[in-house]
Every structure is written in C-alpha cells, then in structure tokens.
Amino acid sequence: MKTVIETKKLSKWYGNVLGLSDVSLQIEAGITGILGPNGAGKSTFLKLITGQIKPNIGSCTIEGQKIRNNYHFYSKIGFCPEQDSFYEEMTGWQFMTGLLKLHHYSPSEIKAMTKEALEIVELTEDKDRVIKSYSRGMRQRLKFAQAIAHKPEIIVFDEPLNGLDPLGRRKIIRLVKSYEEEGKTILVSSHVLPEIEAMTKQIILIHQGKVFAQGDIHYIRDLIDTHPHIVSIKCRNPRQLASTFIREDYVLNIHFGSADNTLLIETNNRDKFFSLLPSLFVKYNIEVDEITSPDDNLQAVFDYLVEK
C-alpha cells in the first residue's frame, strides 16, 4: 500500500523536556492506533504531523508534501484535539458553521455539511444550545464533528473517546471503522488499550518520546519472541497437568488460579507449548473445560515493552 504519512528522524524538545525522539515512520491508509501512556509523546507526534508545531530535527510529509504552513493542504485534514476547549459562548451550530466557513465553502454547502456532521454525532437536537451548557460527552462529540464535517481524507483523532459513555464509545468506534472502509487514513491516539484494540490491529507504541514498535499486533508479538505468555487452563485435574509441565524448560511459572480447577502457566515459547498441549491431554486423559490466554491483548505487549 502507498505511504500516506512519512516521518524521518522526527524529534521535538520543549526546552529541556523531550517530547519526541528520532521517530521515523511510514503510515499507510487505514486506521493506525497511536498507543502510549499519558505524557508518552502521542499528542506531540500528532501535532508534528499536522504541522501545528515544528520539529527541532527531522521532517514530516503527508502525501509527499511538507505540511507546516502549507495551509492549502488542510482542506484534506481533519483534526480532533485532545483538549476540551471551545468557543464557549457559541452554539454548536455556530461553532461548526464558523469553522467550515474557513474552508471557503458556500453557505449552502456549509449548512448541509454542518447538518450532516451534527446528525452523525447525534447533536442535532442540541445544535442551538451554547457549548458551555454541553455535557462532557456532547463536547467530545462536537469536537469529533468538526474534524469530520468537511469530509477530509486524513483524519487525526487525539484521544477521541475521552469522556464518552459506553454507548457513545461504541458509536464513535463504529464511525472510525467506517472511514477506513471509505479508504481514508485515520490516526487515533489513546492511552486505553482496549479502545485502540477495538478499532485497529495496526499500532504504533510510543513511550517516553520514542517509538517502541510499529505494526500489526501479531507482528509485534513475533518481534518479542521472549515475551512470556500466560495460558489459563480449566480442567478436572490441574495438579496432574502441572506435574507434567513442571519438567519442561519452556515453562517459566505455574500458578493455581483462585477459581476451582484453573491452572495458570507462564511460558516463553508459546508455539511449542501449544503444539505439545493436545498430546499431553490425551496422554494423561485430562478433560479440559477451557483454555484462555489472559494476556493475549495489547496491554500485555505494552507492559512488557515498557518494562523491557
């Protein structure tokens, strides 16, 4: 696939504080999740690639063009900022139409676009209320609406699910996914792993201003082959199963779970473990109720990478 966003040795300092260090990435169309704890450098990265701040070192291009002060290009970009800030004395409608005016659309286009965007985020009924009277969730949805109203090709969402109720989150996640189907390039940042996981498998892990890893979640798992995995097995005779695994060198730890008949096995060779598992069940005639992998999510990978 064609690279849409490219950064080369992108670095940014705020005085003596490091914001981002030596980030070289290529981002293609589709949804890319930017993952990292608060203060990791996610927002700095998003501000750099949208040209809101300039890098101390390195460069960033979108579709081969420099973005900072290249204001014509902003008709293609939608940006949903992290901060909960608005022109509080405006109504939702005035806020949306006012910002769309800056895109040089005709009044009828502005009206239609505003109407559509507010409908998408379900704010039509509250469009004439002043923003300062909006709830946190409504404000978040309005921020989302201003980013998508002009139908941009590249949309950058900085923590878009903050302050939303579970229903609102599901709706926004569904919307973000629908933009991927339209062939758009979407960047979504979050410090909440399940949020990103629900939207994409394509992630960039950022911590302390550095990129820890980039790629598909499974690819990242392959990268860290020594990453210990925990496998939970619920069976009739967990102690017997434990006695067979204790001899294996790829098993690092064995715990008995708080629930009845649950065995938690930590292994550093997941493939070998799973290949031997069926034969052991057969050999010792162990009836298995359930096999799960509690750390088979982004959180486990992220925790591991950060510790490493």
Closest separation in Å from C-beta 290 to another protein: 45
Distance of CA 175 to the CA centre of its chain: 14
Nearer to another protein by Cβ, of 14 and 256: the residue is 14
Q: Give the Cα separation of 212 and 95 in Å (integer).
A: 38
Q: Is residue 54 near another protein by the rule CB under 8 A?
A: yes
Does position 131 bind another protein by CB under 8 A?
Answer: no
Strand boundaries in the chain, DSSP class E? 3-14, 17-28, 30-35, 57-62, 65-66, 77-80, 154-158, 185-190, 202-207, 210-216, 229-235, 251-256, 262-267, 288-292
Task: Give 189 or 202: the residue with its C-beta nearer to another protein.
Answer: 189
5 vs 265 by CB, closer to another protein: 5
How does strand 57-62 pair with strand 65-66? antiparallel
**Region from 70-78, 116-124, 181-189, 286-294 binding another protein, contact rule CB under 8 A:** 70-78
13 touches another protein by CB under 8 A: no
- What mask of x and - would describe binding to another protein in positions 94 to 113, judged by CB under 8 A? x---xx-xxxx---------
- According to DSSP, residue 201 is labeled S
Least distance between another protein and beta carbon 178 (Å): 22
**In 2-66, alpha helices (H):** 42-49
> Which of 24, 26, 65, 83: binder of another protein (CB under 8 A)?
83
- Minimal distance, residue 104 CB to another protein, in Å: 6
| Count, residues near another protein per rule CB under 8 A | 30
Q: Which position among 9, 24, 71, 278 is part of the footprint of another protein (CB under 8 A)? A: 71
Determine phi and psi for 297, rounding to 5 degrees: -145, 180
Letter for the amino acid at 185? T
Shortest distance in whole angstroms from residue 49 CB to another protein: 11
Tell me: does residue 225 bind another protein (CB under 8 A): no
By the rule CB under 8 A, 53 interacts with another protein = yes
> Is residue 79 close enough to count as binding another protein by CB under 8 A?
yes
Contacts of 8 (CB under 8 A, 6+ apart): 24, 58, 59, 60
Torsion of CA 144, 92, 169, 40, to 10 degrees: 50
Binding flag, residue 87, another protein (CB under 8 A): yes
- Residue 146 in contact with another protein, rule: CB under 8 A: yes
Q: 97 near 114, Cβ under 8 Å?
A: yes
Using CA atoms, how far apart are residues 207 and 306, in angstroms rounded to an integer?
Answer: 7
DSSP state letters, 136-154: HHHHHHHHHHHHHTT--SE
Kindly tell me which of 54 and 236 has the beta carbon lying closer to another protein: 54
- According to the binding rule CB under 8 A, does residue 243 interact with another protein? no
Q: Between residues 68 and 270, which has the closer beta carbon with respect to another protein?
A: 68
Residue 37 tokens read as: 């704890």
User: Judged by CB under 8 A, does residue 219 bind another protein?
Assistant: no
- Chain residues binding another protein by CB under 8 A are 14, 50-54, 69, 71-75, 77-79, 81, 83, 85-87, 89-90, 94, 98-99, 101-104, 146
